[in-house]
Structure 1
Amino acid sequence: MTDLSAAQPLTNFAALFPGQGSQKIGMLAQLAADHPLVEQTFAQASDVLGYDSWALVQNGEQQQINLTERTQPLLLTASLAIWRLWLQRGGPMPTAVAGHSLGEWSALVAAGVVDFADAVNIVRQRGASMQRAVPVGEGAMAAIIGLEDDKIIAACADAQQSEVVAAVNFNAPGQVVIAGSAAAVERAIAACKEAGAKRALPLPVSAPFHTALMRPAAQELAELVEQTHFKAPKITVIHNVNADSQSDPATIKQLMLEQIYQPVQWVGCVQALAARGITEAIECGPGAVLSGMVKRIDRTIHCATTDQPESFAEALHNLAQSES
């Protein structure tokens, strides 16, 4: 693999890694047809997982890859297959990386903090632990569209009634995800609508991620994370919990455990990248979820998708032009 410490980063460029929800059957099929590295990366993940991960994402059923325990390693692998291909094809090195929720683990691998195989193992366990923390059906998540953050936070506080519900993903202005106990989320949806939300959309997820209900999952994962070797990042990583960077491996481990039950400050992460002079980014994974969020947060940053041969080639060409 490319020696990250030897490469000269492009100072206005960042790589972003998506989280759960971007997975789909058939993802990266066209890229893989042109570039063997994609399937090779999935083969490496398969050695860790004990099943044929490429066959599953190409020929399985959507409900199979939507199981959190499978979604997390499969999506991490897809994102890092694109990252490896970017480096193999001579793409410029970013000066910063960030990932949304699960995607933060992809960002850590890209930055040289944790080895790929170790990350696959961790996120498989992370997914399993998060699912075990709250039985299916007892938790829920919903996207609140068109309402100010402070009104959403207040609606959640009013809706708790001794249960858990909170704003957990600050994805873009006017786009916040809430999560918690199913009944409390229903009450919060009604309160948000009453406060003027344009829409409140229940999300098809199997657990209330990034809430206090996920603390048992963090506790369960702590031993594996502690046993895993983390290195100081060779590329700046902007973390979800505090929208800031960190260089100490022990502190990064703690942030990655807190991230399981703390809100994702994605708006803050993008703003932190802009403050560092980032004007170009690639979404290193399937889909265009992050590209859409970035556009809503800060239009000074142009974020390109990379999961199709045409979009990958275009992003590579444009970034190479700006590098020269």
Structure 2
Amino acid sequence: MHRSVIAFPGREAISKGLDKSFYEEDVQVKDIFEQASDCMKYDLAKMCYGGTRIHVKWEMICLVTHCYAIYKVIERMYGKPRAFAGYSQGEFIACVAAGVFELSDTLRLIHQLESILMSESSHDECMYRIIGIHKETLEKCCQKVDENHEKVCVSSYISHTQNIISGKYNHVKKVIELAKKKGARWAINLYAEKAYHSPLRNRAAYRAKADFEHMKVFNHAGPVYSCYDGTKSYNGKLIRDKLSRQINHPIQWFTLVNNMKSEAIVDLIEIGPGCTVSANTRIADSTLNCKWIGNIGDL
């Protein structure tokens, strides 16, 4: 594990379903779920594994608990990795796994953030993955449609020629039209509920500022790579502050992957449902060895 990064997925992974094999087979996982359920005053195991659809307000709470519990099994078996990372909201899980945040504090913070986000109107917002056009050209397309970058922008930098834009629907469609004229091959709708990682979330970031500032942090924790700037940090307060900024700033995954590579990371081990983080990492740099653990059989 000394040349590995443990990575966690964002909200979109919940659509893959949460496998219950770790919960059924491992006492430590059950203990973590019991603690999390006590904190949230709700049976999270039943919510995760009961077979019914998880309400959007509880998706990240369930995903964090599920992925963190699996990580603790891996840590017990194989030890700690060199560092941690999380794509988008997955960085919350990375902070808990690294020991920067307590699990209970993180669940309460996420619950508050979800309330803030759900209170904002976003009926005409969307996110699209644009493939086949250089990121600088895509930025120029966004600027041509919206000079102030308030209604549409690049919201996730994944590679030179595959990135994500967020914004108001009409503005995004205009950017897609321009991008296709410039050579873009595909524009894939991500069916996001909101235009995450963009200035359209400025108000949410402002409202959440105090909640982040009140989060207790621990400095003697494992290093975490930040989606905000792609760099690795050891300082708990700095990690927390960077995490708070990704709400309304683009994800710098391409930079993050390049930094991992330059710091001699060989393996990225993704924990949780699906393999979104691994896919984005391979798009950024196909030479990194990506693995994923979603069920107990993957061990």
TM score, norm. by length of structure 1: 0.86
Q: Secondary structure at the match of 2:119?
A: helix
Counterpart position of 1:48: 39
Say which is worse superposed, 111-120 or 188-197, in terms of deviation.
188-197
Residues 208-251 of structure 1, C-alpha deviations (whole Å, 9 max, x = no match): 10011111111221212212211115222111111112333333
> CA separation in 2, counterparts of 1:33 and 1:170?
38
Counterpart position of 1:186: 173
Residues 125-144 of structure 1, C-alpha deviations (whole Å, 9 max, x = no match): 222223333x1313211111
TM-superposed CA distance for 1:157, in Å, is 1.2
Q: What is the letter of the counterpart of residue 168 of structure 2? A: S
Unmatched tracts of structure 1, length 5 or more: 1-9, 314-324
Structure 1 residues 260 and 76 mapped into 2: Cα distance closer, same or farther (>3 Å)? same
> CA separation in 1, counterparts of 2:9 and 2:248?
18
> CA separation in 1, counterparts of 2:44 and 2:15?
13
Aligned pairs for 1:58-137 (under 5 A) are 58-62=49-53, 64-65=54-55, 67=56, 69-88=57-76, 90-133=77-120, 135-137=121-123
Say which is worse superposed, 40-49 or 71-80, in terms of deviation.
40-49
> CA separation in 2, counterparts of 1:61 and 1:71?
12
> CA separation in 2, counterparts of 1:54 and 1:190?
45
TM-superposed CA distance for 1:252, in Å, is 2.6
Contact persistence 2:100–2:222 (CA under 8 A): no
Residues 72-122 of structure 1, C-alpha deviations (whole Å, 9 max, x = no match): 21111121011111123x213111111111111111111111101111111
Counterpart position of 2:157: 170
Matched, 1:13 2:1: no
TM-superposed CA distance for 1:54, in Å, is 1.9
Contact persistence 2:7–2:270 (CA under 8 A): yes
TM score, norm. by length of structure 2: 0.92
> CA separation in 2, counterparts of 1:233 and 1:268?
25
> CA separation in 1, counterparts of 2:272 and 2:159?
19
Q: Secondary structure at the match of 1:231?
A: coil
Matched, 1:29 2:20: yes
Q: What is the letter of the counterpart of residue 112 of structure 2? A: Q
Contact persistence 1:13–1:280 (CA under 8 A): yes
Counterpart position of 2:206: 219
Q: What is the letter of the counterpart of residue 46 of structure 2? A: A
> CA separation in 2, counterparts of 1:201 and 1:25?
18
Matched, 1:151 2:137: yes
Contact persistence 1:145–1:200 (CA under 8 A): yes
Q: What is the letter of the counterpart of residue 80 of structure 1? A: Y
Q: Secondary structure at the match of 1:278?
A: coil
Structure 1 residues 227 and 308 mapped into 2: Cα distance closer, same or farther (>3 Å)? same
> CA separation in 2, counterparts of 1:299 and 1:117?
36
Q: What is the letter of the counterpart of residue 41 of structure 1? A: I
Unmatched tracts of structure 2, length 5 or more: none
> CA separation in 2, counterparts of 1:250 and 1:52?
31
Residues 165-199 of structure 1, C-alpha deviations (whole Å, 9 max, x = no match): 00001134432111012221121122222222111
Q: What is the letter of the counterpart of residue 62 of structure 2? A: L
> CA separation in 2, counterparts of 1:115 and 1:38?
16
Q: Secondary structure at the match of 2:81?
A: strand
RMSD: 1.9
Contact persistence 1:146–1:198 (CA under 8 A): yes
Q: What is the letter of the counterpart of residue 204 of structure 1? A: Y
Identity of aligned residues (%): 24
Say which is worse superposed, 231-240 or 207-216, in terms of deviation.
231-240
> CA separation in 2, counterparts of 1:175 and 1:79?
27
Contact persistence 1:168–1:262 (CA under 8 A): yes
Q: Secondary structure at the match of 2:272?
A: coil
Counterpart position of 1:138: 124
> CA separation in 1, counterparts of 2:169 and 2:61?
26
